[in-house]
Amino acid sequence: MVITPETPSTESVTHFCALFQPLTADGLPALAECYSDDVDFTDPLHHHVGRDDLMAYYAKLMEGVQHCHFDFHTRQSVDDTSFLTWTMQLAHPRLRNGRNVTVAGCSHLQWRGQRVCRHRDYFDVGAMLYEHLPVMGWMVRGVKKRL
């Protein structure tokens, strides 16, 4: 008997993306339902295992956020894996004095049934964070210009 991975439904992927448009603290309970209990999440700065740990991370991220919105561009699903390209618009008082920061990225999702069991985000941390911090931003932008 050959077991083939279950492809997530188009509705599951669409629902997942919709919860990030915008991403708010009030929307986190609905987002939690999209993840398996043992989800493994990684981004360029963090690694979290378990839905409770991931939701605590999201809640911490949302502290002070004035606005966070994702525009999803490409959605590809093969077997139990989805790839999503996106652009994030983020406004936080500690970044660019609260002005909007735009970051392009990609999410690699692995599904178990209709829930995400692995989530890995890829994005430029400098474009999101380091370039917008006092002093450090000046240095990072200077290094990029020289390269």
Residue 1 lies in a domain: no
Residue 112 lies in a domain: yes
Whole-Å CA distances, 139 to 19, 104, 135, 142:
35, 21, 6, 5
Name the pLDDT band for 9 (thresholds 50, 70, 90).
confident
Residue 37 lies in a domain: yes
Residue 46 lies in a domain: yes
**pLDDT single digits (tens) 18-58:** 999 999 999 999 999 999 999 999 999 999 999 999 999 99
Residues spanned by the domain of 113: 10-146
Residue 2 has pLDDT above 50, yes or no: no
Whole-Å CA distances, 28 to 77, 78, 80, 96, 103:
24, 27, 23, 25, 21
Residue 36: give its domain's CATH number. 3.10.450.50
Distance CA(15)–CA(87), nearest Å, equals 17
Residue 95 confidence (pLDDT): 78
What number is the average pLDDT over the span 57-75? 95
Residue 5 lies in a domain: no
Residue 3 lies in a domain: no
Residue 50 lies in a domain: yes
The total number of structural domains in the chain stands at 1
* Mean pLDDT over each residue of the chain, to the nearest integer: 87
Name the pLDDT band for 1 (thresholds 50, 70, 90).
very low
Residue 126 lies in a domain: yes
**pLDDT single digits (tens) 95-118:** 778 889 999 999 999 999 999 999
